[in-house]
Amino acid sequence: MKLVITGGHHSSALPVIALIKKEHPDWELYWFGHRHSLKNDKNDSLEYREISSLNIPFFDLHTGKVYKVYNPFKVLKVFGGLIQAYNILRVIKPDLILSFGGYLAVPVVLSGNLLGIKSITHEQTLVAGYANKVIAKFAAKILLSWDSSKIYFPQNKVVVTGLPLRETIFNVKSNSFTADNALPYIFVMGGKSGSHLLNVVFKEALPELLKKYNVIHQCGDYSVYNDYEKLVKYYSGIKSSVSGKYFVQKFILENEIGEAYNKANIIVSRSGAHTIAEILALKKRALLIPIPWVSHNEQYINADYVKNLGLADILLEKDLDVENLINKIDLVLKKNDSQVSDLYGDLSREAAEKILNEIILAHKEKKA
């Protein structure tokens, strides 16, 4: 089978891809995504690095999003993305398109529909993204991570599969973040690709934080900001005057992510769907800083969900400064009222298999 995979959440796709490669090594996989995370960024995105490392052909799609404010230039970019996706799909001739939402997936699914190519899509959030609301009109099946998302989609199309999580978060396979002290660990990641704003505030907070914590920091690799180089230089200047150790990397890769999570006493991050799912699966305490401008305020909804289970507290971006950051971290670590069971970790491990079953079923129905 030829399968095109696309979407704004490549983390969801990775466990499914791993399962496909294991059980169906003869399938041909193709990826439509972004080679660069930001405009004018010269460095390859984590998405591009991880997908390319799996020897999957990567098509760098150039499109726009027009969900909030009408902008003629963005409309033209959407049409450009539609034409680009159409031309590539016409050459590949895939049997099926698997979408993981996000504005990148819209032109791929729409082009596929024009070419008679069946699509299924997966929704990661507790609500429903703008992109998947559009895609749902054309998709044969809508796969959901959470029961709460059912109300946003046609009931005859929905299947709750759960959110697939990478198996590597559950296993410690490295020894990269060992400190010669007994201080607790903070793992700050700002989402899978880092956050410039969090990088700036954490840099200012390091002298105080490193008096009582070790810090593991995934800062991203945006060439526009060069945060990694700035953080390394700053730490070298304060290293001799602090007790804690600071481990900063552009990305925490798959062979190290299990150790980072295992050592973390608290996680400081944005509150995307995958972040909260991993926090729930591992039952880790967290300080969540939602991105305020995402559609439907979904990051705040995600953060509030974890907060109500007793695992997290929320720090709004407008209140993010050094003093509030340190106070909130201290506060979260004093709490002891989690209501999370082991069930979510088990369900997340089954999600990739359920999605694969839906892919196979959709392909069989297409043939019939």
Burial 303-323 (b: 16+ CB within 10 A, else e): bbbbbebebbbbbebeeeebe
**Mean pLDDT score across all residues of the chain:** 91
Query: pLDDT, tens digit, for every residue of 107-154?
Result: 999 999 999 999 999 999 888 888 999 999 999 999 999 998 999 999
- Condensed to tens digits (0 to 9), the pLDDT of residues 192-219 reads 677 999 999 999 999 999 999 999 999 9
- Please enumerate in sequence order all residues whose Cβ is within 8 A of that of 299, keeping only pairs 6 or more positions apart, or say none: 270, 271, 272, 290, 291, 292
Rounded Cα–Cα distance for residues 134 and 63 (Å): 15
Under the banding of pLDDT at 50, 70 and 90, the label for residue 346 is low
SS3 350: helix
Strand order of the β-sheet with 118-123 is: 58-60, 28-33, 2-6, 96-99, 118-123, 141-144, 158-160
The predicted-structure confidence for 84-93, as pLDDT tens digits, reads as follows 999 999 999 9
169-337 — its CATH code? 3.40.50.2000
pLDDT one-digit tens code per residue, 274-329: 899 999 989 999 999 999 988 778 899 999 999 988 889 999 999 999 999 999 99
Distance CA 148, CA 296 (A): 14
Give the other-Cβ count within 10 Å of 25's Cβ: 7
pLDDT at 149: 92
Asked if 245 and 197 touch (Cβ cutoff 8 Å), the reply is no
User: Over 60: is that where the pLDDT of 368 sits?
Assistant: no
Q: Is 49 annotated as a binding residue?
A: no
If phi over 0 gives left and psi between -120 and 50 gives alpha, with beta otherwise, what is residue 355? alpha
Model confidence at 78, in pLDDT bands (50, 70, 90)?
confident
Could you tell me the sign of the dihedral formed by the alpha carbons of 310, 276, 313, 239, in that order? positive
Q: How far apart are CA 208 and CA 202, in angstroms?
A: 10
Q: What percentage of the chain has pLDDT greater than the value 90?
A: 72
Q: Where in the chain is the domain with CATH 3.40.50.2000?
A: 2-160+350-367, 169-337
The length of the chain, given as a count of residues? 368
Query: What integer pLDDT is reported at residue 45 of this predicted model?
Result: 86
Question: What's the pLDDT score for residue 68?
Answer: 57
- Evaluated on CA atoms 219, 220, 224, 228, the torsion sign reads positive
Tokens 């490193």 belong to residue: 210
The single residue listed with the structure tokens 């670590």 is 333
Q: What is the mean pLDDT of residues 247-267?
A: 95
| Segment 4-27 mean pLDDT | 94
Give the C-alpha distances (Å, rounded to integers) separating 204 from 53, 198, 250, 316: 35, 10, 18, 18
**β 158-160/141-144 pair status:** parallel
Among 182-191, 296-305, 345-354, the minimum mean pLDDT is found in 345-354
Q: Would the annotation count 166 as a binding residue?
A: yes
**What is 2-160+350-367's CATH number, 3.40.50.460, 3.40.50.720, 3.90.550.10, 3.40.50.2000?**
3.40.50.2000
Give Cβ neighbours of residue 27 (< 8 Å, ≥ 6 apart).
1, 2, 3, 20
* 345 pLDDT above the threshold of 80: no
The percent of residues in the chain predicted with pLDDT above 70, rounded, is 93
Q: What is the per-residue pLDDT for 339?
A: 58
Name the nearest CA neighbour of 248 among 233, 261, 264, 263: 233
Mean predicted confidence (pLDDT) in 154-164: 95
- List strand residue ranges (DSSP E) for 108-226, in order: 118-123, 141-144, 158-160, 185-188, 214-218
Residue 271 φ then ψ, to 5°: -125, 55
Quote the strand ranges of the chain, DSSP E: 2-6, 28-33, 58-60, 96-99, 118-123, 141-144, 158-160, 185-188, 214-218, 246-249, 264-269, 286-288, 312-314
> Encoding tokens for residue 311?
């695992």
| pTM for the structure as a whole | 0.87
pLDDT at 76 over 90: no
DSSP category for residue 261: H
Residue 297 DSSP class: G
Mean pLDDT confidence for 322-347:
78
Amino acid symbol at 187? F
Which pLDDT value is given to residue 46? Answer: 84
CA distance 203 to 223: 18
